[in-house]
Amino acid sequence: MAPVIELDNLQVRLGTRMILQGLTGSLKGRAIGLLGPNGAGKSTLINTLLGFHPPSAGTARIFGQDIRHHGRQLRRVIGYMPESDSFIAGMSAVRFVRMMAELSGLPPGEALERAHEAFYYVGLGEARYRDLGTYSLGMKQLAKLAQAIAHGPKLLFLDEPTNGLDPAARVRMIRLIREIRDNGHVHLMISSHLL
């Protein structure tokens, strides 16, 4: 199996602080876990791979493509569920997910269709027209997963997907993540401080 992510002496500096230093490795498989305590650099690595933080040195490749030179093409095949909420105030859930799918390269009609499908998949079909601001924490986590999968990515970055969830919601999220992994079409990189 070809590597999903390759790191070669990757370094990331934020301001004057070195956050990641000398990361080298070849990450393969359907699901890749980033485990460690808060502040260990898991989110920084994900944000670097997404192009939000430029590497200070070294290289990183996703599906063989250098993140510095192929960011736009890679964004079309990557889904991202951030740790923090990133919703637009006053917007319905389905409209938000449709817009995110369009930004990932889908035409408007297909983006809307996929948004509806994603909400039904995560179990929020009946709540998809509600304002995201009215969602509970568990519903917001599921909506973030819906926006990450709506455009049909080949790689999903899930940053602390069970953060703040009660035990029942955590079990539900883990079940959905396992289903996505087991369908055989998507690779996952999951960060968690829960060991």
The count of structural domains within the chain is 1
pLDDT at position 75, please? 87
b/e map 82-106, b = 16+ CB within 10 Å:
bbeeebeeeebbbbbbbbbbbebeb
Which positions ≥6 away from 48 have C-beta within 8 Å? Answer: 10, 12, 20, 54, 55, 60, 67
Angstrom distance (rounded) from CA 12 to CA 180: 30
pLDDT of 134-170, one tens digit each? 999 999 999 999 999 999 999 999 999 999 899 999 9
Angstrom distance (rounded) from CA 67 to CA 74: 8
pLDDT tens-place values along the chain, 195 residues long: 789 999 999 999 999 999 999 999 999 999 999 998 888 889 999 999 999 999 999 999 999 999 999 988 898 999 999 998 889 989 999 999 999 999 999 999 999 999 999 999 999 999 999 999 999 999 999 999 999 999 999 999 999 999 989 999 999 999 999 999 998 789 999 999 875
pLDDT at position 49, please? 96
Identity at 55, one-letter amino acid code: P
pTM here?
A: 0.93
Angstrom distance (rounded) from CA 20 to CA 48: 10
Closest CA to 159 of 148, 175, 172: 148
Which positions ≥6 away from 186 have C-beta within 8 Å? Answer: 30, 79, 149, 153, 154, 155, 156, 180
C-alpha radius of gyration, the chain, whole number: 17
Angstrom distance (rounded) from CA 195 to CA 188: 17
Q: Which domain holds residue 115?
A: 5-192
In SS3 terms, 128-177 reads as CCCEHHHCCHHHHHHHHHHHHHCCCCCEEEEECCCCCCCHHHHHHHHHHH
Angstrom distance (rounded) from CA 9 to CA 22: 4
CATH number at residue 9: 3.40.50.300
pLDDT at position 195, please? 54
